[in-house]
Amino acid sequence: MSNDNLVEIEDVVFGYGARPVLKGINLTARRGQVIAIMGSSGCGKTTLLRLIGGQVRARQGTVRVAGASVGELDAAGLYRLRRKMGMLFQFGALFTDISVFDNVAFQLREHTDLPEDTIRDLVLMKLHAVGLRGAAQLMPAELSGGMARRVALARAIALDPMLVMYDEPFAGLDPISLGVTGNLIRRLTDTLGLTSLVVTHDVQESLKIVDYVYFVSEGVIVAEGTAAEIRASGLPYVHQFVHGEADGPVPFHYPAPSYADDLRLGGVRA
């Protein structure tokens, strides 16, 4: 494998209890790219991020980040690796009891011995990058959803990580915030030399900014390609997803016994 790949996932199998979630996933992320992982809700996209972050361990297969196998690291090694990762949670997951400034400064204070002056400069730089330098003294409760997402982004890049993961960064945003967040992900990836891994089901917005897309369904990768390839794809699943059709390969109905049987019509039907 070339050294260009920051994240390499090979044949990963994972499940919660008896319920299988991932059934053999292969995925690579090249350095400097924005990769999107798409799929319908509950298909295991977030689990994939948790595997990369080492919060859960794969049952089979390997997850390698920057050459290190995440599943085999001990607690100390995992924490060292996580310092080089940033993660943006679905609703920001800002610490609600401290200000925006302190949120962004959190990792700097936890992991470095920098003097408070330097921390202040760094925090304001990160906040400036997401356009919220003026909001430094606000509390998270005073922010709108889009602003909270941007603050969380500033916090995720506080230690200049090599990899940033985004869990549904577009969920619940108005069109303006949506565009702002999308552009920000692209711009930060390019200017800071990051690799971005975006888990989303917002096809239109993400296709504008990503380099490569993986489609996950039922625990396996069903399609992959560049944004243009995906738009032009003739695969029924991808077509349904990109165009938002109600029924198709992804069924409208949750798996159930036959409707007739459920309504006790079995005898009549015979």
- Which positions touch other proteins (CB under 8 A)? 53, 55, 79-80, 82-83, 85-87, 89-91, 93-96, 106-107, 110-111, 152, 155
Q: How far is the CB of 63 from other proteins (least distance, A)?
A: 15
CB-nearer residue toward other proteins: 169 or 230: 169
CB of 79 to other proteins, least distance (A): 4
CB 211 within 8 A of CB 199: no
**Which helix (H) or strand (E) segment is 156 a member of?**
helix 145-156
Residue 70 DSSP one-character state: G
* For other proteins, the closer CB: 96 or 183: 96
Report in angstroms how near the CB of residue 167 gets to other proteins at its nearest. 9
Smallest gap from residue 97 Cβ to other proteins (A): 8
Of 103 and 233, nearer to other proteins (C-beta) is: 103
> Nearest to residue 238, comparing CAs of 254, 221, 252?
221
Instruction: Provide the minimum distance between the beta carbon of 202 and other proteins in the complex, in angstroms, as a whole number.
Output: 19
Nearer to other proteins, 55 or 183 (CB): 55
Compare residues 93 and 192 and give the one whose CB is closer to other proteins: 93
- Give the dihedral sign, CA 44/49/55/56: positive
Task: Please check whether residue 71 is in contact with residue 57, taking contact to mean a CB–CB distance below 8 angstroms.
Answer: yes
- Extract long-range pairs of 54-57: CB within 8 Å, 24+ residues apart: 54/78, 54/81, 54/82, 56/14
What is the distance, to the nearest Å, from the Cα of residue 180 to the centroid of all Cα atoms in its chain? Answer: 17
Q: How far apart are CA 161 and CA 84, in angstroms?
A: 4
Query: 112 or 240: whose CB is closer to other proteins?
Result: 112
For the chain, give the number of residues: 270
CB–CB of 36/23 below 8 Å?
no
Which residue, 92 or 219, is less far from other proteins as judged by CB?
Answer: 92
Q: How far is the CB of 265 from other proteins (least distance, A)?
A: 30
In this structure, are residues 123 and 116 in contact, taking their beta carbons and an 8 Å threshold? no
Nearest-approach distance from CB 64 to other proteins, in angstroms: 18
For residue 27, the tally of other CB atoms under 10 A from its CB is: 21
Collect all residues with Cβ–Cβ distance below 8 Å to 193 and sequence separation of at least 6. 31, 32, 162
